[in-house]
Amino acid sequence: MRALVLRGPRAAGVEEVEVPVPGAGQVVVDVHRVGVCGTDVELFTGKMAYYAQGKAAYPLRPGHEWSGVVSAVGPGVQEGWLGARVIGDTMLGCGDCPRCRTGHRYVCAARYEVGILGGWPGALAEKVRVPATSLHRLPDSVDDQTGALVEPGGNAWRAATAAGAGPGSRVLVWGPGTIGLLTAAFARAAGAEVHVLGLDRRNQDLALKLGVENFWTRDEPPGVTFDAIVDCTDDPGTPPAALELVRPAGRVVHIGLAGTPSLIDTRELVLKDVTAIGILGGSPGLAPAIEHYAEGRVTPAILVADTVGLDRTADVLAGAYEGGHGTKIHIDPRL
């Protein structure tokens, strides 16, 4: 089958690889859509921290935001999965450690991350092999494109939930990329008054289409404080700035990752009695994201700028193909 293979920094191409065979407890999925995200770009450029930590190495096959149809099942897997439209969790814990047993497999020390960590081949290919336990069925009301937005949606749902978004709360989402805009949409669906802050107004129309009316820029900042702030940026200056804008007894949620350490004054954190929360992985949010999409409470398809074939993936990763207006490029390996 055809798959995208990273051979080194900025060295990527489509190659012929062996068709995966499901082992015990595993399935093989025919991939219909894959989203390209910032993590894939870091893997492509070689800037991903996992390389330096020895947790990832070239050659590597990326792709973790996917949807598709189960085409083969391994021993111990119910045949009822055959033909099912599904998405899969990126974080594959060992299943036996205390973290996995308490529902925190996404921070299991021995975890694989599909297409990212530990050498588990990703979904930028015609087929992907995953454990059956990682699967979530897609209802008919969630198409392939929207299905491939479940993984980022799971992260965003977790961020909005950690922010305590709900009726009577005022939430600022800092950074209007895919995760930021989805976080804003989930927070709005929960009943919060939602504000978005960006470097400029480039994605303001996308925020408006998702129902967010309060959009600010660095040059035109909001003149109010917030019950919660969600940092969806890669700017190390955002955490200390967020601490200034959050009200006493509020929350600051960190889901963005900066390339250098962020410095905050913990005295301000303590004296304002602020709760700081970190979010890694969308695992607990996948089912709620599917539910929101299926019921139309969040409609993420407008974020997809274009869908192209596997042969264009290297161009997308290199920034040489931007497509239309949106925050996400999708790959259809069947094209």
Q: Among positive and negative, which fits the CA dihedral 138, 141, 143, 146?
A: negative
CA 331/CA 323 separation, integer angstroms: 12
Are 22 and 121 members of one domain? Answer: yes
Q: Please indicate, yes or no, whether the overall pTM of this predicted structure exceeds 0.75.
A: yes
Whole-number Cα distances in Å, 40 to 4, 132, 234, 280: 11, 24, 15, 16
Same domain, 43 and 133: yes
Q: What average pLDDT does this structure show over 265-269?
A: 96
Assign residue 181 the CATH number of its domain. Answer: 3.40.50.720
User: 62 and 176: one domain?
Assistant: no
DSSP state letters, 268-335: HHHHTT-EEEE---SGGGHHHHHHHHHTTSS-GGGGEEEEEEGGGHHHHHTTS---SSSSEEEEETT-
Do 52 and 120 have their domain in common? yes
For residue 95, tell me if it sits in a domain. Answer: yes
Instruction: Compute the chain's Rg from CA coordinates.
Output: 20
**Tokens in use for 184?**
């804003």
Q: Is the pLDDT of residue 324 over 90?
A: no
Has residue 263 been placed in a domain? yes
**Which residue segment(s) compose the domain that 162 sits in?**
156-278
Considering the domain boundaries, does residue 8 fall inside one?
A: yes
Q: Could you give the number of structural domains in the chain?
A: 2
**pLDDT reading at 21 higher than 90:** yes
Q: Is 68 in the same domain as 167?
A: no
Is 288 a member of any domain? Answer: no
Q: Are residues 266 and 310 in the same domain?
A: no
Q: Is residue 294 part of a domain?
A: no
Q: Are residues 176 and 229 in the same domain?
A: yes
3-state SS string for 193-222: EEEEEECCCCCHHHHHHCCCCEEEECCCCC
Instruction: Give domain status of residue 283, yes or no.
Output: no
**Per-residue pLDDT reduced to its tens digit, 26-54:** 999 999 999 999 999 999 999 999 999 99
* 117 and 232 belong to one structural domain: no
